[in-house]
Amino acid sequence: MAEYCVISDLIAEIDEDDLVELASKEPEATITSASVTSILNAQIVKAGAEIDSYLLGRYGEQLRTEPAISIIKAKCAELAVYYMYKRRRGVDDDWETWHENNTEWLISQRDGDGVLLGDPDTGAVVVEATASIQHDSEILNNSDLPVNDRRNFTPQKQRLMFALGPKDHS
């Protein structure tokens, strides 16, 4: 299971004192107390598991690369904070609505309706730029793709791309 965020990412979502209060009943507890970090880390793991349950099958290791990791890190932190509220105080309407919206977002990503790593129209996967840009019409088979590119070319897709020709991306 992936841990997409760390405790400092949770602090970016809510006040540190609130996190400590949600994690511990001990009056002397701090963000670095073992009992607090243990509970926070457990919620981070739980949030990562929820994200993986929706997205790992579709995106695999690409979840841990840019641009996805920045998005996933924020989602994981928000989910972990939601779980902290749910664990201790109950969840107010704002957090509940937020969680429902995030769940819908995860489902849309899983089902291919959203754009986390790829263009929903072409299926092209966003990859980091290298020294040169390769247009789809220049790719003749899967071996022409960069290692981190998960597109899969079939003869039918190749014929369609060649028939369409290069696109104007200006």
Instruction: List the chain pLDDT tens, one digit each, 170 residues.
Output: 578 999 999 999 899 999 999 999 998 999 999 999 999 999 999 999 999 999 888 888 777 877 788 889 999 999 999 999 998 778 888 888 989 989 998 998 888 776 666 554 454 554 433 333 445 555 555 555 555 555 554 554 444 444 444 444 44
User: Where in the sequence is the domain holding 72, given as residue range(s)?
Assistant: 7-110
Provide the pLDDT for residue 91.
84
Residues 21, 58 within the same domain: yes
Domain co-membership, 27 together with 105? yes
**Residue 18 φ/ψ, nearest 5 degrees:** -65, -40
Q: Are residues 16 and 73 in the same domain?
A: yes
In a domain, residue 106? The reply is: yes
Q: What is the pTM of this model?
A: 0.67
User: Do 66 and 25 belong to one domain?
Assistant: yes
Domain assignment present for residue 149? The answer is yes
Measure the CA–CA gap between 123 and 96, rounded to whole angstroms: 32
Same domain, yes or no: 32 and 98: yes
**Is 25 within the bounds of a domain?**
yes
What is the reported pLDDT for 93?
Answer: 86
| 12 and 49 in a common domain | yes
What one-letter code names the amino acid at 85?
Answer: Y
Instruction: Say whether the peptide bond before residue 155 is cis (omega within 30 degrees of 0).
Output: no
What does the DSSP 8-state code read for residue 124?
P
Q: How many CA atoms lie within 13 A of 70 on its CB side?
A: 3
101 shares a domain with 18: yes
Q: Is residue 41 part of a domain?
A: yes
Q: Which one, of 164, 131, 126, 133, lies nearest residue 148 by Cα?
A: 126
Specify the number of domains making up the chain: 2
* 100 and 150 belong to one structural domain: no
Instruction: Please give the pLDDT value at position 45.
Output: 95
Q: Indicate whether 15 and 85 sit together in one domain.
A: yes
Query: What is the reported pLDDT for 33?
Result: 93
Residue 118: inside a domain: no
Question: What would the pLDDT profile of 97-143 be if each residue is shown by its tens digit?
Answer: 989 989 998 998 888 776 666 554 454 554 433 333 445 555 555 55
